[in-house]
Amino acid sequence: MSVKKLLAISLLATSFALPGFSEEQICDQPTLTTREYYALLNAASLDEKDFQDRLSFSLQVLEDGGSECALRQLALIDQAISLFALERFSEMVDLLGPIFEGDLIKRPEMKSALKYLAEAGAVSGYWSGKADEVESALQGHINVLLSPAPQDAHWIAEFLSVTKGYKLEAVSMASLILDEHLRRASQAERNNSRPSSSDPQSKRRLNAALMSLYNAGEADRFIDYVSRINSADGITNLDLLALSAVPQTSDPASALQKLQVKIDYVKLRDENGYVSPEFGAALAGASVLGYRAAGRIEDSERELRSAKMRFGAEFDPEKALSTELVWMSRPGMSPRITAFEEATLLDPIAPNWPWEVNDRAEASCVAQFNIDEQGKPIRIKVECSDERFEKSATNAIKRARFAPLMIDGKPKVRYGVVQPLDYKL
């Protein structure tokens, strides 16, 4: 997971100066500028563009009890920034208390640094399961998170959704994101074009906004949005979360009815082998419990009988569902919930033009497949707007190689990858 790909937050200015610091003095005596700080770092034969070098230097400064005031202040903040860039989020969160409790962060010239550190802290807190600690550390400064840049709002909403005092703000941010998505999807449908959510970054944004509603306990609102979003936009896993939330709604029968198309779609993917066995068991469990909550007892019993035939007589719907939800709804999300994203290609896909198509035809194709432990596509299924292109697209996917899904350092099968392919002259 790359921070550069996942975050719209800019880590540093191109000069690699600490954000928000000016050339003015930071401590009363002696004075020290960020330029001078990096001169000291470079003098120690370290590279200011290397975050590991910057972390090492900051630690050396802070361990030296004789370091002057300004140098120690700059080192503390640079340590936090370096830990964030190195994706050591839990450690970064531990520094927020000392930083935000000190006098330095309260200075006027620190305004942009404060916003940056608050946003980085929010992301780190959510991904490391330390949202409560971040909320406590930011204290009176958390308001800087309530007006994020549009490209950052989904991450901030996701953090706020698991805080104690800002769930309403999270719901508001997430709803704005989802309303805009639905507006653009409707416009794309009218124009017969591919929706903007087909790219991985947009899918992550959509996913985070929906997770914000789920985390905030807004079951009715969460299900309403999920029911209105095309599952092909990459939210199959969230379709399962929505089904699992049916018993928490004000009207389970109505909620289940809203989700019926989604349930049919996810079950079809299960039948075709595009979800993991664990996901399939959780889907069965959620179906049993959802039908039961909606008062559809016969349907619930039928689903339970079917699940026991498939997964064994000891099948427990609550256990099967909760086991998968531990992965899917934990802070930061698991690789399974992000598996819908286009996997990392090791080489570009270069489909050949079908020899039988000699006119100026165009086609949009969508390939569904799994990726095995070696990064090879398996169970490939392709649908194209012009079926003459389907064989070419299938062969292109067969030739492709992807980075395998890694969980706990071991390669695993990545289920349910969706890869668009366009043919144009």
Edge to edge, the sheet with strand 363-371 lists 377-384, 363-371, 414-423
The predicted-structure confidence for 107-134, as pLDDT tens digits, reads as follows 776 777 788 889 999 989 988 888 899 9
Can you tell me which residue has the tokens 């002696």?
Answer: 30
Cβ atoms within 10 Å, residue 400: 23
Is the pTM here over 0.75, yes or no? yes
Q: What is the pLDDT of residues 247-269, one digit of tens each?
A: 999 999 999 999 999 999 889 98
Pick the CATH number of 363-423 from 3.30.1150.10, 3.60.15.10, 3.50.50.60, 3.40.50.970: 3.30.1150.10
Domain boundaries, the chain: 3-145, 168-328, 363-423
How confident is the prediction for the chain on average, in pLDDT?
Answer: 82
Q: Looking only at Cα atoms, what is the longest distance across the chain?
A: 79
Contacts of 80 (CB under 8 A, 6+ apart): 92, 95, 96, 99, 117, 120
Single out the residue of 235, 227, 158, 228 nearest to residue 198, CA to CA: 235
Q: Does domain 3-145 have CATH number 1.10.10?
A: no
Query: Which of 23-37, 134-148, 236-250 shows the lowest per-residue confidence on average (mean pLDDT)?
Result: 23-37
Question: pLDDT (tens digit, 9 = 90+) per residue, 275-331?
Answer: 889 999 999 999 999 999 999 999 999 999 999 999 999 999 999 999 888 766 655
